[in-house]
A and B are shown apart, each in its own frame.
Chain A
């Protein structure tokens, strides 16, 4: 079920009503109802894959309990390794089997049949959550793991199929300590507002313009020539698409979670305001970045074993991160490109540290040179990220290369179709939103609807200034939310599903 659909709105309305009714009867019944609703939500797509989800939960719960109870370190390590391997095997079978066979056929000119496997929705997300739980259990970071808490931790529908990737320490304590599962008016109100703003981002801001971009990517896939301008429209436009689409989903997920009194972690914090690629990955798909950092980059050596090892770890982490997004070489190249950007960033910072005195390095601020440098850094980062997006979006490597060479100016002047320019008038609005406006997490910070927001505002806990930008439970915001929701609802029509549903 897609959040931006009439069927989901109906589902949510019924669930809220049912949740309110059972809460009146018994304050503990909310939790089982959420589990049932999450299973219904997941099974709505292909009911058979609900079995897969349940088996995954049962298996990982058994392993995690054994790890937690295991007296011997070696046994616990072996059990953790087995659990991780089987989780990876599951995702490898469903997500990467066809890709592996295809790559084998291409490399060794073999003729193995390419398996036709339907990818269970959200498998990448819930498998990563299971792996993080096992690792944390092994490292003694899990204080308490009760079965039904585990079930809800994995299956909770707002985050089940496209994240945020919730870590056990963010969710399990909330589930373990909560006694009263009744609806609370303030949570519902704030959750509805976040959901409405997310829905608006998707249905009203970006989706009407997506077909213009599709034309360019389809042309590139067909082998038609693509010019410099169309290439950059494709890169920048898709950057906006994936940002508004996925951040919209995250806003909606956080809002939905909060409606039922559960806080999910922040997932986006104005990534296109990043002044370096390192800063970008601090702000983009935060839950994935943190997962990759803690469970891949640091175990691979992190940044404490010399520059060469750091760069190798970065490249491996980002390439695998790319592969996580999709089974294709375009995703690997997208990840590797970001890995190389990060490597350049590390080298640059090392060079600056060596060449400039410490006070010079830290001298940034609103003064003229600092301001210009900051703006320039933001633009360069944005262009580098936009360039990489074509590999993420292009349907195959040839199309991606065609677009990339066009963006680098190695193509003839050519206009794919007049139609493609239809998105350009929207670009100034998009730039205004991503570069100059506060993000939803800042606007909603005072509500405490999402976890870890303060970290991204440099520890600032006070609401956003000016005050009218900060969401408050007052009449003005109620009317604004209603207007936003109505616009989003009216715009709800045959939309493309969220991009991250496919990962």
Chain B
């Protein structure tokens, strides 16, 4: 190659040594890339077979980090009757195997870490083309709180969903999914984590030690005194302020999502997470929940299917766990405060009118959510329970509840 005179530093063409080195370099580079890609693809595709196995579903669906890609793909393979949507608060709460056993129908947990309203709606769009689908459980917290977040998070890939944002079928979905399953960055990480988790289970390790969702929070570490003083105040010490100053009234993504289910005759079970009293449950006042009630009532009027609305986020036997007597290994909460699958089972029992699991206390069974769209005085129910977090337990006072809570 002959370059300009001013370009003296151009590499010389006749440098045979350089050419030989280059050939060797390309050969090694190409071999390495092909070898690594082949090994990774083989391992990933084998692992995918693992993922499809029924007995591994709890591990696959409860693992954090990679659900944005593989959950839509797995969902289409499994074609469940019931699907759960939401962020990690929902992902950690519903063990698909345990919930399926309780409800007698196949449950799929579509929750993902930090799931945004847009992502959740798009997963729902993609999930509609499933003839088996009968019910969708939607965590409302995903749509309300934390308005300042990105539309979608890293790893969310719309091209692996069945439909695009305008509900038109995506092109080359099969090809994109095959690529993502074999060579997507998520696949490598997910499979390493999946295999090590399955091995831990097979070694007989206890569930809380290998499955993050089952980890148990220490309810003695955080100061429960503040919650106790707020919910069960000494006479004359009741607080009156509510943190519920802001209410989101426009819920475009949730609206689109519910419309989609209504069109397909899929029942909707919308719920507020029973977060612990030291977290959100006692920060949510009545205004937001009343706004939700109105919103869902409006939706029900034009819906072919049935919409259900459950509020679990109030002072009850679950959300006040450890408030009166210290609990070192929480039954219902993970260390980060997310509800564990034990809480999910109680929620599923309440929502689908099934018997509560044997570990549920009578106090929880007696008062743990109602279908507010069927409730005659839903507003009154919501106001009464929201007031508990301000120490207002009505005419009878907290005595009976407090006593039962101490005994459970």
Residues of chain A at the chain B interface (Cβ within 8 Å): 6, 173-174, 176-180, 184-190, 192, 207-212, 214-216, 218-219, 222, 224, 261, 263, 416-417, 419-420, 447-448, 454, 461, 472-475, 477-479, 481-483, 485-486, 489-494
A210-B154, A494-B157 known; A486 vs B184 contact (CB < 8 Å)? no
Residues on B lying within 8 angstroms of A by beta carbon are 1-4, 6-7, 9-11, 13, 15, 18-19, 21-29, 32-33, 36-37, 40, 69, 114, 146-150, 152-159, 179-180, 183-188
> Nearest Cβ in chain A — how far from B114, in angstroms?
7
Beta-carbon contact of A482 and B148 below 8 Å: no
- With contacts A174-B7, A261-B1, A448-B10 taken as known, whether A482 is within 8 angstroms of B154 at the C-beta atoms is no
Given contacts A417-B148, A486-B36, A490-B185, contact A189 B155 (CB under 8 A): no
Check if B36 sits within 8 Å of A482, measured CB to CB: yes
- CB pair A485–B26 under 8 Å, yes or no, is no
- A447 cross-chain contacts in B, Cβ below 8 A: 11
Residue pair B150, A215 in contact (C-beta under 8 Å): yes
Q: Which residues of A contact B154 (CB under 8 A)?
A: 207-211
Q: Which residues of A contact B13 (CB under 8 A)?
A: 180, 184
Q: Is A6 in contact with B179, judged by CB distance below 8 angstroms? A: yes
Q: Once bound together, how far apart are the Cα atoms of A211 and B9, in whole Å?
A: 43
Contact A419 B3 (CB under 8 A): no
Chain A nearest CB from B356 CB (Å) reads 33
Give Cα A178–Cα B3 distance, bound, in whole angstroms: 6
A173 and B3 within 8 A (CB):
yes
A478 lies within 8 A of B28 (CB): yes
**Contact indicator A189/B179 (Cβ below 8 Å):** no
Are B19 and A185 in touch, CB under 8 angstroms? yes
Give CA–CA (A214, B153) in the complex, Å: 10
B150-A218 in contact (CB<8A): yes
12 A–B contacts, CB within 8 A, in A order: A184-B13, A189-B22, A190-B22, A210-B154, A215-B148, A218-B150, A454-B9, A473-B22, A482-B36, A490-B184, A493-B157, A493-B186
Q: Report B26 CB to chain A, min CB distance, Å.
A: 5
Known: A174-B4, A493-B157. 10 other contacts (CB 8 A): A6-B179, A184-B19, A209-B154, A216-B148, A222-B147, A477-B25, A478-B26, A478-B28, A479-B32, A482-B32
CB-based contact A173/B4 at 8 Å: yes
Name the contact of B24 in the complex, choosing from A209, A478, A490 (C-beta under 8 A): A478
Q: Which residue of B lies closest to A216 (CB)?
A: B148
Report Cα–Cα, A323/B147, bound state, in Å: 32
Partner of A419, one of B32, B40, B114: B114
**In the complex, chain A residues whose CB is within 8 Å of the CB of B24:** 473, 475, 478
Q: How far is B13's CA from A490's CA once the two chains are assembled, in angstroms?
A: 35
Contact in complex: A416, B21 (CB < 8 Å): no
For B69, the closest partner residue in chain A by CB is A493
Please name the residue on chain A nearest to B27 by beta carbon.
A478
8 smallest A-B Cβ distances: which pairs? A482-B32, A173-B4, A478-B28, A186-B22, A490-B185, A185-B22, A473-B21, A219-B148
Q: Which residues of B contact A210 (CB under 8 A)?
A: 154
A211 with B3, Cβ < 8 A, contacts A186-B21, A483-B32 known: no
| Chain B residue nearest to A416 in the complex (CB) | B148
- By a CB distance below 8 angstroms, the chain B residues around A478 are 24-29, 32
Residue of A nearest to B31 (CB): A482
A172 closest partner in B (C-beta): B4
Q: Is there contact, CB below 8 Å, between B185 and A211?
A: no
- Please tell me if the beta carbons of B156 and A192 are within 8 angstroms of each other in the complex: no
B185 to A493, Cβ gap below 8 A?
Answer: yes
Min C-beta distance of A199 to chain B, whole Å? 12
The answer to whether A493 and B184 touch across the interface, beta carbons within 8 angstroms, is yes
Q: Tell me the bound Cα distance from A490 to B39 in angstroms.
A: 13
Are B29 and A482 neighbours in the complex by a CB distance under 8 Å? Answer: yes
In whole Å, how far is A99's beta carbon from the nearest beta carbon of chain B? Answer: 25
CB-nearest residue of chain A to B30: A482
Q: List chain B residues, Cβ under 8 A from A190.
A: 22
In Å, the complex CA distance between A485 and B19 comes to: 22
Q: Would A419 and B146 be within 8 Å (CB), given that A185-B19, A482-B33, A482-B36 are in contact?
A: yes
